[in-house]
Structure 1
Amino acid sequence: MYVVRPVEAGDIAALETLAAVTMPGVHTLPKTRDKIEQAVERSIASFAAQVDIPSEESYLFVLESPAERRIVGTAAIFATAGSNGTYFSFRNDVIQQVSRDLNICHNVHALTLCSELTAYSQLSSFYIDEALQSRPEAALLSRSRLLFAVQQPQRFGDRFFVPLAGVTDEKGGSPFWDALGRKFFKMDFLDAERVIGGARNRTLIVELMPHYPVYVPLLPGDAQAAMGQIHPSGELAFNLLTAEGFEADEYIDIFDGGPILQAHKHALRTFTSSQTLRVRTADGQQPEGATVNYAIANSAAPAFRAVTLACPELEGCEAVALTPEVQDILRVADGDSVTCVRI
């Protein structure tokens, strides 16, 4: 069995190993030990903080095999994306152009630099070991962030978004960046990622990115084709997020043109379908009939835990049966409350 829990100081070496095997410019895991340590420290402080209004908190979760004490995945959520600045993206717009003299009217696809995602809560840093990508633990890891938000709504905004990595070649080059960003920043895509970072909120963007709409038909064909397309490594995350209720097409990333998925919390299944149930100790017998997979989470913020459970449909139930082993992993006891959502 695997468990999702908040990151701990003892996980730094394992995170460093995970970061070493992820592709540069694709996954948003911190790449250096110093940045990993900073992310871990910030997360620990955020989980421990008493929060009334979302601000600069960030919460980093890990997927662990308790039996082996092995970290096999990560996922994060930021309380507000632009808490220390402004989060920039390109908005897909349609500009109508009309000539009455020529009797011509047509629409032009344009990209407009905007900061509308600032103050949304941002999901980030999703990575899971390849051996687990087809198992329920992948959905558990992705959804645990939202389960935590369901339990702690005061820590997050009402809207969420997720930037996904765009199309890059085997060397990390981006056709979208080469056609647009390179013209203004005079550097390669990976260099820009390293200099400016994943936050998309630095002063350099305000100083250098075009402030007027970019007419898409003027971009090269390969750049147009890359817009809104995801890197192959992001297909799992995309499928999980769209099944959750996130939608694409309105915004794209200003660097690689990757899709930015967004949604109001009331459009997300975890918010609309989760239920709070009482724990009762299972009698040791295997459940009869068909079973479905659920994500089950305890309700202790600093000691948050979530696991998958195959059980009969819980709709309309008042309690969920958990074995002593699962109760120990979740750190709950008979009569405690847990949050459950079908995955």
Structure 2
Amino acid sequence: MFIIRHAMNEDMPQLLKLSKLVHSFNLPQDKDSLAAKIDRSQRAFAGSVKDPKGREFVFVLEDLDSGSVIGTSAVYSKISWPGHPHLFFKVRKHEHYSRDLGTGQVHVTIQLDTDETGPSEIGGLILAPGYRGHPQKLGSLLSYARFQFIGLHPKWFQQRILAELMGALTPDSHSSLWDYLGRRFINLSYTEADTFNQRSKEFILKLFPSVEIYISLLPPEARQLVGKVGDETLPALHMLEKLGFKAQDHVDPFDGGPYLQASRDDIPIVRHSESRILAGTSTSATHSGVVSCVGEFGFRAMRSDFMVSGDSVRLPAKTIATLGAQSRASIGLTAFDKSSNALSLKGSPSLKGSPSLKSLPTRKAKRGSRSRG
């Protein structure tokens, strides 16, 4: 059995192992940075972070049978503001034509640009290799749970949602785009530059040219990376496109990976996620999908069947035990059809917005407790 829950301090060793599987600064590879990230996340889940600039939510996927953390994902309420810009390359196409030669070409340019309007962002989705391709579609569960969370707490997130997808890297985690372009202006390795970017944007704005750069001047191995993702990221790209995310001709200035964008309320999972009051158990079901609760063990989400009746819901006894849900608890619900399309829960009015996320546990439930039921 698998659950999504909020990250805790005890997860540090396993999250560090996950961080080494992929080059992602959404999941730092050093203990101090990761500890600070977990602390910010726990305070955000507890509802104690009032400023959206410091509000980030880190989810982990746990295999309850082994007690192992096998995946993670994250949501950030606001990634930019005045004085703290979001940086990207704006990609443009220019047509050039010669009448005398009777021929022309289309050239692509990239130009460093900034955004201080403060969109929300999803990112940091990592799944352990041994669980990829699992029949229960664990990568989808990691992603869907966070969209349900956004749907249940829309006021915590901006209307514009970005998704950053990692560009294709070499086997030793280098970016050919950075090596052939970025390093010509900033004498740092790809890893060093991306790491420093987490602390300051000033060095990029001061050292990188502000004019358009024709990528035809770059070697093919660098040119072809603009707007492309690696093979391991293709499933995430296809899943986001299915949810309505679209490329905006913005790419990461370090590895060339694309930024996708969607309007929060147009994302089907966000739009169709609702809450109902737990009325008890049931062995029958009207829907199947993702259910969540802030219960005995803090925030938890999982796949389950459920029965909706008016403003109440009934769940299998095992689901209630695993969530740690109490009687009359508010249960987050997202129903899916067989093609993984989110469905509307028609009927009685929704109780949109679950209760304040307070009193999160600082320790995981012990093996053999109700959460393992």
Identify whether the pair has TM-score above 0.5, normalized to the shorter chain: yes
Q: 1:76: Cα distance to partner? A: 1.0
* Structure 2 residue 183 is the aligned partner of structure 1 residue 182: yes
1:151–1:299 Cα contact (<8 Å) kept: no
Which residue in 2 is equivalent to 1:322?
A: 315
1:165-219 alpha-carbon deviations (Å, 9 max, x no partner): 111111222221122111111233233233334x7x5211111122111223333
Q: 1:334: Cα distance to partner? A: 4.6
For residues 180 and 92 of structure 2, the distance between their equivalents in structure 1, rounded to whole angstroms, comes to 19
Which residue in 2 is equivalent to 1:340?
A: 333
Mapping of 1:224-239 within 5 angstroms?
224-239=223-238
1:58-81 alpha-carbon deviations (Å, 9 max, x no partner): 111111133433211111111111
Moved more, 236-245 or 330-339: 330-339
What percent of counterpart residues are identical?
Answer: 24
Counterpart residue type for residue 338 of structure 1: I
The one of 21, 25, 30 equivalent to 2:28 is: 30
For residues 224 and 318 of structure 2, the distance between their equivalents in structure 1, rounded to whole angstroms, comes to 50
For residues 72 and 269 of structure 1, the distance between their equivalents in structure 2, rounded to whole angstroms, comes to 26
For residues 98 and 67 of structure 1, the distance between their equivalents in structure 2, rounded to whole angstroms, comes to 64
Using structure 2 for the length normalisation, give the TM-score: 0.79
Which residue in 2 is equivalent to 1:223?
A: 222
For residues 243 and 122 of structure 1, the distance between their equivalents in structure 2, rounded to whole angstroms, comes to 17
1:117/1:239 Cα in 2 relative to 1: closer, same or farther (>3 Å)? farther
1:146/1:261 Cα in 2 relative to 1: closer, same or farther (>3 Å)? same
Mapping of 1:126-275 within 5 angstroms?
126-134=125-133, 135-197=136-198, 202-275=201-274
Moved more, 2-11 or 114-123: 114-123
Aligned length: 332
1:142/1:27 Cα in 2 relative to 1: closer, same or farther (>3 Å)? farther
1:88–1:117 Cα contact (<8 Å) kept: no
Q: 1:55: Cα distance to partner? A: 1.9
What SS is found at the alignment partner of 2:45? helix
Give the aligned CA root-mean-square deviation in angstroms.
Answer: 3.0
Q: 1:131: Cα distance to partner? A: 3.3
Which residue in 2 is equivalent to 1:294?
A: 289
For residues 204 and 169 of structure 1, the distance between their equivalents in structure 2, rounded to whole angstroms, comes to 25
Q: 1:275: Cα distance to partner? A: 3.1
Which residue in 2 is equivalent to 1:18?
A: 18
1:27–1:127 Cα contact (<8 Å) kept: no
What SS is found at the alignment partner of 1:170? coil
1:6–1:303 Cα contact (<8 Å) kept: yes
Mapping of 1:76-115 within 5 angstroms?
76-83=74-81, 85-95=84-94, 108-115=107-114
Q: 1:117: Cα distance to partner? A: 6.6
1:2/1:63 Cα in 2 relative to 1: closer, same or farther (>3 Å)? same
Using structure 1 for the length normalisation, give the TM-score: 0.85
Q: 1:12: Cα distance to partner? A: 1.5
Q: 1:138: Cα distance to partner? A: 1.8
Which residue in 2 is equivalent to 1:60?
A: 58
Q: 1:48: Cα distance to partner? A: 2.3
Counterpart residue type for residue 2 of structure 2: Y
What SS is found at the alignment partner of 1:55? helix
What SS is found at the alignment partner of 2:228? coil
Which residue in 1 is equivalent to 2:304?
A: 309
Q: 1:259: Cα distance to partner? A: 1.2
1:8-41 alpha-carbon deviations (Å, 9 max, x no partner): 1222122123223x13x35731101111111111
Which residue in 2 is equivalent to 1:69?
A: 67
Q: 1:49: Cα distance to partner? A: 3.5
1:159/1:46 Cα in 2 relative to 1: closer, same or farther (>3 Å)? same
The one of 47, 53, 77 equivalent to 2:45 is: 47
